[in-house]
Amino acid sequence: MEKLINDFSYGLFFWQLVLFIGLIFVLKKYAWKPILNAVNEREEGIKNALAQAEQARKEMLNLTADNERILKEARNEREELLKEARSIRENMIETAKNEAQTEAHKLMEKAKESIETEKLAAIADLKKQVAVLSVDIAEKLMKDQLASKDAQVKLIDTMLKDVKLN
Amino acid sequence: MYKIQYYISIVFFLFSLTFYASSEHDSISMPKGENPHQEAKSLRDEIKEDIQHHLKDSHDWTFFHSKIDGSGFTIPLPVILIDNGLHVFMSSQFHHGESIVESNGNYYKLYHNKIYKTDAQGTLNLDEHHHPTNAKPWDFSITKSVVVIILAALLMLWMFSSLAKSYKKNNGIATGFGRFLEPLVLFVRDEIAIPNIGEKHYKRYLNYLLTIFFFVWLVNLLGLTPFGINVTGNIAVTFALAILTYLITTFTAKKDYWKHIFWMPGVPTLMKIILAPIELLGTIIKPFSLMIRLYANMTAGHVVLMSILALIFIFKSWVGGPLSFGLAFALSLLELLVAALQAYIFTMLSALYFGMAVEEHEHEHPHEEAHAEHH
């Protein structure tokens, strides 16, 4: 201990103190401050970048979810539209069918009616012709039968017999 | 890569040991060669002296030096003395302690790495412990350790300012050597400062903690190079570092810190009175332990490493070289770890003390805390 104290160099102590304090201040200005600032900046940058990446990932997830949702919605909508179209088509067919049926029915009715009319007309015509024919025939027959005077009288008689005077 | 470096470093150590100069130890006032004790000095004593010499700071920087013909490579360093005025001259004028230097009418002599004021003949009055009783001037010389401190400071400034600049050049990412330094800076911040001081206050201390961590580590590592550097094994250096930690702790301490020292809450009054001086002493013991720990670890490392290298000269056979090399190599690896570990411990404990100084015991007296927060 005595040797240590005896050997203690004041000059070296002085220089060490002065130089070291100087070194602290010089390094602070030219090294530690810029180094730590740069490192801090970088660390902040990394932190921010990570946060941003996380944010982007979340956004991406949201976006995917949104996309999925939109897709689903679109699919649903398409389905809906298809369904609607189908129903519309069915309706249309139905209506068309119905209309056609009614139309057909109408036509049929009309046809029937006209056929009936025609038929009646034909029958009437036929009746007329038959009447004419029968009159003709009758005329001819009459002409033949009533060629004689006797026959005419006879007929008149018969006829008269038939007529009942009321 | 490291292995090669350490192999080289060991070889250099061998050289520095082989040619280490210690002529000033035994030629106090007599010219070289006339000292009758010189020949009689045993090899063990010589090695011991060499190690002692290495551990001490010196006024010049000797890379190698021959004891036989006195040749070698030494960088002289400026000597600055304050003794009724300023005396500045180069250490080469001492000629390794052989010459007396005259400066502005005063005579100075270098003896065992210390400068003493003498007369024109260079007479030193030794006491019974062989310590000179001559007056010592205030010695503010730029010694070997001061040069190394300056070099370390410049090296740190270069390394870390280039790291700081590389961020701007490369869009916020370090380049080159900075890639190695940046994790260390972050280690000090995230593993030393924040856990010990807390998120709230750590920023104030970070400049000091970073500087001290890298300074101690770098200087410890420089001590492992073969240039005979031993800065952190110097008590004046560790004292300066420890006293800074002490001053910062003391002057940034919160009310809570002093309260816990002088009037420990939650214990009986009698205990409070007994605890106060113990706690007060503790504040001094803490930095004192910092000082001693670093000093002792580095000194011990250097002593053991040099002693192992000296085995070569003790054995003087083919056993000594490989044995010494193997041991020194293993120990160098250990010292590499110790260099970082001591820097870490010093920084870590400093951070711990700062943490104590600013600690807020919210759970114990929330009312006071709220009050303090208000201010």
Model pLDDT for residues A63-76, shown as the tens digit of each residue: 999 999 999 999 99
- End residue of a domain, out of B114, B141, B168: B141
Distance from CA of B174 to the nearest CA of A (A): 9
Helices (H), chain A: 2-7, 10-27, 33-145, 149-162
Question: Which pTM value belongs to this model?
Answer: 0.73
Q: Which residues of A touch B150 (CB under 8 A)?
A: 19
Handedness of CA A144, A150, A154, A155 (dihedral sign): positive
- Model confidence over B162-207: pLDDT tens digits? 999 898 888 888 888 888 999 999 999 999 999 999 888 899 999 9
Residues B196 and B178 occupy one common structural domain: yes
- End residue of a domain, out of B117, B141, B165: B141
How many CB pairs lie under 8 A apart between chains A and B? Answer: 123
Q: Which ipTM score applies to this complex? A: 0.80
Residues 6+ apart with CB under 8 A from B364: B265, B266
Does B244 contact A35 at a Cβ distance shorter than 8 Å? no
Q: Which domain holds residue B55?
A: 2-141
- Model confidence over A112-152: pLDDT tens digits? 888 888 888 888 888 888 888 887 887 787 777 777 788 77
- Residue B126 sits at φ, ψ, to 5 deg, of -95, 140
d(CA B339, CA B346): 11
- End residue of a domain, out of B120, B141, B162: B141
The strand order across the sheet containing B101-103 reads B101-103, B106-111, B114-118
pLDDT lower than 50: segments of chain B: 1-2, 11, 14-39, 365-375
d(CA B338, CA B296): 12
Pick among B83, B126, B140, B292 to test the A interface (most A CBs inside 10 A): B140
Residues B288 and B163 occupy one common structural domain: yes
Are B43 and B100 within 8 A, CB to CB?
Answer: no
Q: Which residues of B touch A23 (CB under 8 A)?
A: 153, 156-157, 211, 215
Which secondary structure element, helix H or strand E, spans residue B82, and what is its range?
strand B78-82
Instruction: Determine the pLDDT at residue A3.
Output: 72
Residues B254 and B131 occupy one common structural domain: no
Whose CA is closest to A27, among B358, B164, B136, B107?
Answer: B164
Cα Rg for chain B, rounded, in angstroms?
25
Instruction: Determine the pLDDT at residue B362.
Output: 62
Q: Which two tokens stand for residue B18?
A: 């082989």
The widest CA-to-CA distance across chain B, in whole angstroms, is 80
- Model confidence over B14-46: pLDDT tens digits? 444 443 333 333 333 334 344 444 445 788 888
Residues B96 and B216 occupy one common structural domain: no
Distance from CA of A54 to the nearest CA of B (A): 23
Instruction: Determine the pLDDT at residue B304.
Output: 92
d(CA B189, CA B183): 10
Are B121 and B28 within 8 A, CB to CB?
Answer: no
Burial A119-149 (b: 16+ CB within 10 A, else e): eeeeeeeeeeeeeeeeeeeeeeeeeeebeee
Q: How many domains does chain B have?
A: 2
Residues B240 and B181 occupy one common structural domain: yes
Are B354 and B252 within 8 A, CB to CB?
Answer: yes
Residues B75 and B167 occupy one common structural domain: no
Helix axes B269-315, B43-55, angle to 10 degrees: 130
Does A35 contact B153 at a Cβ distance shorter than 8 Å? no
Distance from CA of B160 to the nearest CA of A (A): 5
> Which three-class secondary structure state does DSSP give residue B256?
helix
Q: Which residues of A touch B163 (CB under 8 A)?
A: 31, 35
Q: Which two tokens stand for residue B1?
A: 């890569």
Residues B171 and B293 occupy one common structural domain: yes
What percentage of chain B's residues is helix, strand, coil (to nearest 5)?
Answer: 60, 10, 30
Residues B244 and B272 occupy one common structural domain: yes
| Domain range list for chain A | 2-162
